[in-house]
Amino acid sequence: MQLKVKAGGIRRQLIAASCALLGAAEGRAQEAQTSDAGTAAAPGLTLDSALGYYQESGGRIRAIEPIVTVQQVQDNGDIWGLNLTFDSLSGSSPNGALTSNKPQTFATPSGASLKGVPQTYTTASGQSQTVNAPIYSVAAGTLPVDSNYKDQRLAGALSWNHSLSRLTSLTLGGKLSYEHDFISGSFSALVAHDFNQKNTTLSLGVNGEFDSLHPIGGAPAPGTDYALFQKTGAKTKQGAGVVLGLTQVMAPRWVSEFNLSADRFSGYLDDPYKIISVLDATGATTGYLYEKRPDSRLRRSAYLENRWGWERASVALSLRYMNDDWQVHSSTAQFRVRFWNSPKDRYLEPTVRWYQQSAAQFYAPWLSSSAAQLTYASADSRLAALSAWTYGLKYAVKYGDDSDASELSVRLELYRQTQADRLAAPPALQGLNLYPGLQALMLQIGWRY
């Protein structure tokens, strides 16, 4: 078996297959776009890897994430791919409660009481269990976070790319992801067909996902009083999606892709670790509720990507519009420019991304104690009206003498998120920073062979 093949544009075909590994559907058009000489990828093995480090400001979430993708081109042209991803997360995670002018006490997810004494409770299966009910406190004027947050994820994916005919290809993929409180399995199938002398590619992809949730301490009953710790055992959610894509070579230096996609998820869509503060008219905290979201969500999106190339530079511009039946509307624009040096063995790639979303219909930073019965509510800042900017820079060096050379790269990104549509603070909370926003830094080292 050959470890690496330089001929035949293997990298281009492998991108199509790797998209299935990483959950993407857009790799379908690569052959149509680039098959100038009708060459097929030669048999061989390639490796693509990255190590990411992510850190949020204020000691919040920190993540380390290595990814490895190995792809094998068979003698018959089929491509098999294997992807392994590992995440290790730790730090402080906001629990959804609002910053207060007084100290606040919470139980960790495994807790069953707001008192720091051992508690005995009955599980969903009828067994009696005693826990230490660990608690934590946050100071007045401080965003409530659980500083003991820890999570690890291991995910593996397998893909198979097969040519059904000279113009039609099929890509199948499957993925399993494991966390101690979350297990997910998904599959995808995508058919792509070339037209118009391979200037146009139409594709249709479908995917399905089944998730099993095993929250620490049990899954809270949505919308119930936090102090009562009404929890049950495991929960599930499932979803299915479809992506319709059109890729068009516009000109010798311009390619465009347009995707329409929709998916629907149903089941337990709540974040089991998020609560919401209940305040009286003065702003004093009178209690907390577990958040409660609808049990289904339908999302639709339109995505457009354009790429233009010159001798020593290229530009990628992508636009996305998404909405869902939770009334979240979002717009995204991302702009990348790649500058090559003269021998084309190094490049510099600045990136800027802008994102904006409206709030989910049921988002509320807090609830009023005088409000009517709760229908749906979440104080999860991810469902708030917000905007975000990402600034990034990538530098890469290629080793080798053709387009399939090995590549070593380093990438740095700064992410800054600001919450919009802020409600006026109640009297007791005036002057407090109720909407702290988020800043994060991401460093990634990549190696391709």
**Interface positions, 264-323, toward other proteins (CB under 8 A):** 265, 271-273, 299, 301-307, 309-311, 314, 316, 318-322
Map tokens 């709030």 to a residue.
Answer: 359
Q: Which of 283, 358, 366, 432 binds other proteins (CB under 8 A)?
A: 358
**Can you list the pairs that 340-347 forms with residues at least 24 positions away whose Cβ atoms lie under 8 Å?**
340/312, 340/313, 341/312, 342/312, 344/312, 344/398, 345/397, 345/398, 345/399, 345/405, 346/395, 346/396, 346/397, 346/398, 347/395, 347/396
Residue in 384, 306, 418, 389 with CA at minimum distance from that of residue 96? 384
Residue in 437, 405, 396 with CA at minimum distance from that of residue 420? 437
DSSP-assigned letters across all residues of 238-251: EEEEEEEEEEEEEE
CB of 100 to other proteins, least distance (A): 22
Nearest CB to other proteins, comparing residues 155 and 279: 155
Nearest CB to other proteins, comparing residues 283 and 392: 392
Question: Rounded distance, CA 176 to CA 157, Å?
Answer: 6
Nearest CB to other proteins, comparing residues 99 and 444: 444
Residue pair 193/201 in contact (Cβ under 8 Å)? The answer is: yes
Pair of tokens at residue 448: 């391709």
Restricting to residues 362-401, name those near other proteins by CB under 8 A: 382-383, 386, 388, 390, 394
Pair of tokens at residue 106: 């919470």
Q: How far is Cα of residue 109 from the mean position of the Cα atoms in its chain? A: 23
Nearest CB to other proteins, comparing residues 18 and 285: 18
CB of 101 to other proteins, least distance (A): 27
Contacts of 273 (CB under 8 A, 6+ apart): 93, 95, 96, 109, 146, 215
Residue in 332, 335, 306, 334 with CA at minimum distance from that of residue 320? 332
Restricting to residues 185-214, name those near other proteins by CB under 8 A: 186, 188, 196-197, 199-200, 205, 207, 209, 211, 213
Nearest CB to other proteins, comparing residues 165 and 310: 310
Q: Which stretch binds other proteins (CB under 8 A): 49-57, 97-105, 127-135, 227-235?
A: 49-57
Contacts of 222 (CB under 8 A, 6+ apart): 270, 290, 291, 292, 293
CB of 133 to other proteins, least distance (A): 21
Nearest CB to other proteins, comparing residues 20 and 429: 20
- Decide: is 52 part of the binding site for other proteins (CB under 8 A): yes
SS3 134: coil
Which sign, positive or negative, has the C-alpha torsion 7, 11, 12, 14?
A: positive
Nearest CB to other proteins, comparing residues 310 and 373: 310
Nearest CB to other proteins, comparing residues 21 and 133: 21
| Total interface residues for other proteins by CB under 8 A | 122
CB of 53 to other proteins, least distance (A): 10
Question: How far from 275 is each of 70, 269, 271, 272, 377, CA to CA, in Å?
Answer: 41, 14, 9, 8, 9
Restricting to residues 231-260, name those near other proteins by CB under 8 A: 237, 239, 241, 243, 247-253, 255-259
Q: Which stretch binds other proteins (CB under 8 A): 9-17, 72-80, 115-123, 428-436?
A: 9-17
Restricting to residues 91-150, name those near other proteins by CB under 8 A: 93, 149
Question: Rounded distance, CA 148 to CA 362, Å?
Answer: 28
CB of 435 to other proteins, least distance (A): 14
Q: Which of 5, 6, 8, 15 binds other proteins (CB under 8 A)?
A: 15
Residue in 200, 313, 205 with CA at minimum distance from that of residue 257? 200
Nearest CB to other proteins, comparing residues 166 and 329: 329
Residue pair 328/378 in contact (Cβ under 8 Å)? The answer is: no
Q: Which stretch binds other proteins (CB under 8 A): 160-168, 219-227, 356-364, 423-431?
A: 356-364
Nearest CB to other proteins, comparing residues 207 and 285: 207
Q: Which of 107, 133, 289, 360 binds other proteins (CB under 8 A)?
A: 360
Q: Which of 139, 333, 410, 423 binds other proteins (CB under 8 A)?
A: 333
